[in-house]
A and B are shown apart, each in its own frame.
Chain A
Amino acid sequence: MDGTINLLLEKYSHSRRDSLIPILQEIQEEVGYLSEEAIVKVGNHLNIPTSKIYGLATFYNQFRFEPKGKYHIQVCHGTACHLFGAIRIIDIIERKLKVKAGQTTRNGKFSLEIVPCIGACAQAPVISVNGEYHSNLTEDHLGQVLIDLNGE
């Protein structure tokens, strides 16, 4: 991971603070999350205090501060999914997997993320597990998806 971040920062060798968000996005893309080490490195690189980077990163839903789990579950909370019960879905997942939004389970198996919209409004409510969509979810259907994942 060390090398990945260094390599990535080399690309931004003449950058200033306006590159902060693109850099953070790329790190998350490559490494999966923003570690403390990554935030410190970006801070040194752009000469920005870590508190400011952490403040900015926590402002946006897109950034996470723990590694993704083996199964990364994204729950769509766009307008359509909200109307079709996304909150209920989040609640069930949080209870069944004992994980909160933005966190990863201790065994590293599941991580949960709430995203504004994943662009499948016609099939609301939708979740995505490692990029694979489960659409028109009912409680039973969701329960089955979780059981299947847990069994694997």
Chain B
Amino acid sequence: MQFNIEVNNRVIEARKGETILSTLYRNGIKVPTLCNMKDLSPTGACRICVVEVEGKENLITSCSYPVEESMRIKTHSPRVVKARKTLVELLLSNHPDDCLYCERNGCCELQDLAIDLNIRERRISGKKSRHKLDLSSPSIIRDPAKCILCGRCVRVCDEIQSVSTLDFLNRGSKTLIGTAMARDLNFSSCINCGRCVMVCPTGALHEHGYMDEVLDSLNNSSLNVIVQYGPAVTVSLAEEFGIKPGKDINGLINAALRKIGFKYIFDTAFAADVVVMETVETLMQKLESNDGFPVISSCCPAWIKYAEQFYPDALPLISTCKSPQQVLGSIIKSYFASEQGINPNSIYSVSIMPCLAKKFEAQREEMTHKTISDVDVVLTTREFSRLIQLYGIDMHNIEPQTPDSPFGVRSSASKLFGASGGTTEAILRTLHFKMTGKEMSSMKYQELRMVNGVKEVAVKIGGKEINIVIANGLTGIRNLMEGILNKTINAHFIEIMACPGGCVNGGGQPFKSDDKDVKARMRTLYDIDDIDSLKVSHKNPLVIDLYEKYLDKEGSDKAKRQLHTCYSKRDVLL
């Protein structure tokens, strides 16, 4: 049902059941908020969104109050603006004055609001709460001193990811966000997906940065610093330099990395092609014996940790093949090192990923060979943009270049790894070839694209029905996993990505991006696939080369040793 309300002396249309804030946003009226998140339950915690409603004595939080017929609302009356200003001043009275050193300087919602409300002096001063910095996690740093208790992280962890690591602890002035038994993050059930970092309005939750380590090794002439970058990075980095969302700047990235001084530059997409080959081999073996299904994807390290904690019984189903980052890391320090005559110990392997969980993955014990880790350090898309700025590189004024051989060619299928459903699409193309001996007539699997949540899809390959499940965001994951374990869901392959939409929307991607930007990134990946002539992993000449020269064949002992691993149950408080 629709009806009219009056806002700032203008009549606008409202819908029954929606909140005042949704009505305002739909009609293009901007009201600030620090705690509201689209599609998640409103809490009215920050009270910044207050508005004046005629006939009501008190100001009303528009994010949590349902719109009513013939309401007359003022969104920026002097009383409202004064209240907002006081609220922000109170928040600042218990906030560290270290914006210059803060991770979120320049992209902080609290800072923006202070500027918008013209707060130019510290009017309210009081005793500040003292907190300890939590540096325990390789992915996420918690700085409770900067927390404004908006509760976004708690809600996103509960409602989007169903992990529930965080909650409000204590009460009153002692309230803080923490984990069960107030453990440090690294010892909690946190899966390092970084959704909380993406929604945190301040610097209270931010990534564990490794810029200094990378700079030190770049300046160390005895090290061979090698870099790889993930498929979803090339379609998002542009936004950090004011280029429109979804622009692919793959070539510029190669050029920038070379200018910075990385000795070899590789595209992780090459390794995604290898992952396709290995996973298809696993599927073919299982199809032959018609046993051991489903195979669950292992590309997403946040999902892996989730499974280790919540569904250890499902671990044997997870593909033993490492993620593309780790596969490339492993090949660099083995095959590439011996080809080039470089001592693996002198290689410093950097990875640029759209993800925070990749930082955790690189440090896992399973990801080392004889105490040498496959990947030494992981930077996010955001850190990478700062690295480019630090080296004074003008991204608008460089010429595109190509990555280095021997891993310089990738199929466009591997590029699809950046979007949810893409891993499956790449795998199905090669699986089709292996099963039927023929290439597909049309490479597109439209039904696997732009999936929201969990979707079951059946595809026919050479007369055989292959059942697929695509899942992104962990909201529906519990039902899915229960279904798999009690065998009510029978699938051959299941792809799970912890972030809604997949890596294009990862926890390491640029801040301040919305659904539209994420969709634009995704579309670009599909566009690249449309125009590329090499659309399947098994035809990548350099992948074929790698198998001929080094790995022998898919699933060989050598491939098993270098590219595969297994996971075990993880004991944390759930």
Contacts and interface: CB of A to CB of B under 8 A. Distances in A.
Nearest to B177: A55
Looking at chain B, what size class is its interface with the partner chain?
A: 10 to 19
Interface stretch (B117-125, B163-171, B403-411, B508-516): B163-171
Contacts of A136: none
Nearest to A57: B169
Nearest to A40: B573
A50 B573 contact: yes
Contact of A36 (B164, B167, B573): B573
Interface in A92-142: none
Chain B binding surface, main DSSP class = loop
A54 to B, nearest CB: 5
Interface string A37-55: 0011001000001111111
Interface in B154-184: 164-171, 178-182
A55 B165 CA distance: 11
Interface residues of A, number: 14
Contacts of B170: 58-59
B164 A54 contact: no
Contact of A59 (B165, B171, B180, B573): B171
Given A49-B164, A59-B171, A54 B181 contact: yes
Contact of A55 (B169, B188, B189, B573): B169
A9 to B, nearest CB: 17
A8 B169 CA distance: 26
Contacts of A52: 164, 167
25 contacts: A36-B181, A36-B573, A39-B181, A39-B573, A49-B164, A50-B180, A50-B181, A50-B573, A51-B167, A51-B188, A51-B189, A51-B573, A52-B164, A53-B180, A54-B178, A54-B179, A54-B180, A54-B181, A54-B182, A55-B168, A55-B169, A55-B178, A58-B170, A58-B171, A59-B168
Interface of B: 164-171, 178-182, 188-189, 573-574
Interface of A: 36, 39-40, 43, 49-55, 58-59, 65
Given A51-B189, A59-B171, 11 more contacts: A50-B180, A50-B181, A51-B164, A51-B167, A52-B167, A54-B169, A54-B181, A55-B167, A55-B169, A58-B170, A59-B170
Query: 8 smallest A-B Cβ distances: which pairs?
Result: A55-B167, A49-B164, A50-B180, A51-B180, A51-B167, A50-B573, A54-B180, A58-B169
